[in-house]
Amino acid sequence: MGRYLACVVGVAAPDPFRFRGERFAFGTAAGVDGDVDFYTGLLYEEVPSDRLVFAGARTRRHDTTRKALLSHLAHLAGDARAGDTLVLVLVGHGFQVRDNPDRPDEADGFDEVFAAADQPIVDDDFAGLWATMRPDANVIVFADTCSSHTIGIMGGRSDEHINSDASKGPSRLSLAASMPFETAASEPARVGSGSRGIFSQALEVAWQGERPATYLDWFRATATHVGATRPKQHPQLLYIGPDDELLNRRPFT
The pLDDT of residue 38 is 96
| Per-residue pLDDT tens digits for 225-249 | 999 999 999 999 999 888 899 999 9
Nearest residue to 147 (alpha-carbon basis) of 193, 97, 78: 97
**Cα distance between residue 90 and residue 156, in whole Å:** 20
**Cα distance between residue 86 and residue 140, in whole Å:** 6
Q: Which residues are within 8 A (CB) of 101 and not within 5 positions of it... i.e. 6 or more apart?
A: none
The pLDDT of residue 144 is 98
**Cα distance between residue 89 and residue 56, in whole Å:** 12
Handedness of CA 204, 187, 152, 174 (dihedral sign): positive
Low-confidence ranges of the chain (pLDDT < 70): 98-109, 155-168, 189-193
**Cα distance between residue 167 and residue 226, in whole Å:** 30
- From the CB of residue 191, how many other CB atoms can be counted at a distance below 10 Å? 5
Q: What is the CATH code of the structural domain delimited by 4-240?
A: 3.40.50.1460
Q: Are 123 and 111 in contact (CB under 8 A)?
A: yes
**Cα distance between residue 156 and residue 29, in whole Å:** 28
pTM value is 0.92
Please state the domain extents for the chain.
Answer: 4-240
**Cα distance between residue 25 and residue 203, in whole Å:** 28
Strand partners, 53: 5
User: Nearest 5°: CA angle at 49, between 47 and 50?
Assistant: 110
Report which secondary-structure segment, H or E, holds 39: helix 32-46
